[in-house]
Structure 1
Amino acid sequence: MNLISKICGAAAVALSLFGTAASAGTIEDIRARGVLRIPAILNEVPYYNKDPRSGEWQGFVIDMANDVAKSLNVKLEIVESSWANAILDVQSGKVDMAFAVTATPVRAMSVSFSAPTYYNSFVLVSSKKELDGKSWNELNDPKYTFAVDMGSAQDLITQQFLPKANVLRFKTRDEAIVAVSTGKADALVNTMLNGLVIAKRATTIGSVKVPTPVLSTPSVIALNYKADETFKSFVSAWAEYNRRIGNNQTWILKSLEPFGISLTDMPPGFGFGG
């Protein structure tokens, strides 16, 4: 083989490898691999929960992902991760998609979003009656102190709607919960889904309160920008179909049952379907 042939051959291999990398995130790739990969986070009920004895993962995200995998005729593979790393896992191609992602403009610069899987609202969790029926504008006052987990979607909400209030930012949600439970903060700012579970698990923290106007945000599936349009279209169609016919809400409510939470525990008119 002469030098030109070797160079052409090497170029062909390089192009082939580049093409494989660029096509990562296609239905064909996933079916050839035989597994759909998603990130999952330990002890993040009702999203994810891993049984320490059996090693089995549970939670509504797992139910949703299993249904996607079933549609593709592949198995589900769990990659243990964290909320902070889930987007990076999608970007790097370590996983095929990440569920329960709050669609923010900043995140949209890193990954593609599917159609909404469900809608979540921002709430307060507090035992203080004086916060009942308050608007975000009324809460935006230095006399109130709120706790929030740093860098979260609810942290962004406090920056936008509660800039005048005193906001304590913590590295973890548990630290923020302790701040409210011990009286260091008047209320926890979080999402409806988390708020309902927190109020049931930490009974001293109080109840869920919904400030007006109701701030609702779509929860989406994050996909790699390099994923092809067929795959993106399929994932959005899956999300839209299951949200509209109520499957996604059913999976969410199933994951809330162990905490004694049902639709009757939610504020009037609230639903995860948007």
Structure 2
Amino acid sequence: MLRILRCLTAAFSLFVATAHAQQVSRLDEIITRGTLRVGMTGDYLPFSSLEKATDVFRGFDVDMAEQLGKALGVKVEYVHTAWPQLMKDFEADDFDIAMGGVSITLDRQKKGLFSTPIMREGKTPITRCSDKGKYQTIADIDKPGTRVIVNPGGTNERFARANVKNAEIRIYNDNVSIFDEIARGEADLMITDASETRYQQKLHPGVLCAVHPDQPFDFAEKAYWLQRDTALKAFVDQWLHIAVEDGSFRKVYSAWFE
């Protein structure tokens, strides 16, 4: 009987410990830890850019991450990742949240949770302004002799592979200088998110032009990609809701996109 009681006591203790562990959410862990680990590629302005000289991130989602950290009452720790390894790093739990222009995809949804979308857009071309009229449709682009340049590992490459069969697709690993390749005539165009084409058009006035960014080829949304924790998602969604209503989201948006 004593042995049975000991076994029952041990089993009960294990049950209580397990139940307690299950109650500790990712949100609780972040607050206890005192840091929010944010994964960013640092090569996608205006969302995020890693300044090599100072090793400091800047961009729209950097400013938003700092506001989120303030709302949580914790410091923000940036974890440098890259588009080709973003999924792998997420699955390895290298960060709590991925920010920096992350598009919602079903593959990513299988691995984690997305916040309320922060932006609706889609893929559209950017090319030299002198060629803007040549690349209005996929059919215009997908012709022998057209040189489409794309950064690897993300939704840009996926879109290009799915829709471009006759034109040349050139993979270019540096997403920071990729637009200079188009400006120099080393490539004809890139198909990327409308928000990025607008920003790069602003950086290359009179040289590069976004092609119908208000009417992209497809539908997409950007959001923040969270490790699968409902408490963390609820907090981030509520924080975004408040930021939209009190104008702080609009203030950050205007600084980078207008």
Q: What TM-score, normalized by structure 2, do the two folds share?
A: 0.76
Q: Which runs of 5+ in 2 are unaligned?
A: none
Provide the rounded CA distance (Å) in 1 between the counterparts of 2:167 and 2:241: 37
Distance 2:175 2:53 in 1: 25
1:150 paired to 2:147: no
Equivalent of 1:221 in 221, 224, 241 = 224
- Quote the Cα distance in structure 2 between the aligned partners of 1:217 and 1:244: 23
- Between the aligned partners of 1:252 and 1:71, the Cα distance in structure 2 is 18
Task: Tell which deviates more after alignment, 94-103 or 36-45.
Answer: 36-45
> Structure 1 residue 191 and structure 2 residue 193: aligned?
yes
Aligned positions of 1:1-274 closer than 5 A: 16=17, 20=21, 25-42=25-42, 44-50=44-50, 56-99=56-99, 100-127=101-128, 129-132=130-133, 134-174=136-176, 176-201=178-203, 206-210=208-212, 213-214=215-216, 215-225=218-228, 227=229, 229-243=230-244, 247-256=248-257, 262=258
Q: Identify if the C-alpha distance between structure 1 residues 180 and 56 changes in structure 2 by more than 3 Å, giving closer, same or farther.
A: closer
Letter in 1 for 2:197: G
Matches of 1:238 and 1:253, distance apart in 2: 19
Identity among equivalent pairs (%) = 17
- The 8 Å contact of residues 47 and 61 in structure 1, kept in 2 or not, is answered as yes
Distance in 1 between residues matched to 2:30 and 2:48, nearest whole Å = 22
Contact 1:135–1:213 (8 Å) recurs in 2? no
Secondary structure of the residue aligned to 1:163 is coil
SS in 2 for 1:71: helix
Distance 2:157 2:166 in 1: 14
Q: Equivalent residue for 1:272?
A: none
Query: What is the Cα deviation at residue 33 of structure 1?
Result: 1.5
- C-alpha change, 1:156 and 1:80, in structure 2 (3 Å) is closer
RMSD between superposed Cα atoms in Å = 3.7
Residue type of the alignment partner of 2:26: T
Q: Give the C-alpha shift of residue 174 in structure 1.
A: 4.7
Q: 1:160 to 1:42 in 2, by over 3 A?
A: closer
Q: Taking structure 1 as reference, are residues 177 and 19 closer, same or farther at Cα in structure 2, changes over 3 Å only?
A: farther
> How many matched pairs?
254
Q: 1:58 to 1:131 in 2, by over 3 A?
A: closer
Contact 2:44–2:175 under 8 Å retained in 1: no
Distance 2:23 2:38 in 1: 18
Distance 2:72 2:176 in 1: 37
Residue identity matched to 2:158: L
- TM (norm. structure 1) is 0.73
Sort the Cα spacing of 1:250 and 1:81 in 2 relative to 1 into closer, same or farther, 3 A.
same
Task: Give, in angstroms, the shift of residue 116 of structure 1.
Answer: 0.5
The answer as to whether partners of 1:37 and 1:79 remain within 8 angstroms in 2 is: yes
SS at match of 1:173: coil
Judged with a 3 Å threshold, the aligned counterparts in structure 2 of structure 1 residues 218 and 27 are, in CA distance, closer, same or farther, namely: same
Letter in 2 for 1:70: K
Equivalent-residue separation in structure 2 for 1:52 and 1:190 (angstroms)? 24
Shift, 1:203, TM fit: 6.0
Residue 185 of structure 2 aligns to a residue whose secondary structure is coil
Ranges in structure 1 where 5+ consecutive residues have no aligned partner? 257-261, 263-274
State the Cα deviation string for residues 115-163 of structure 1 (Å, max 9, x = none).
Answer: 2022233222212544437233443333533111122212222233333
Letter in 1 for 2:233: K
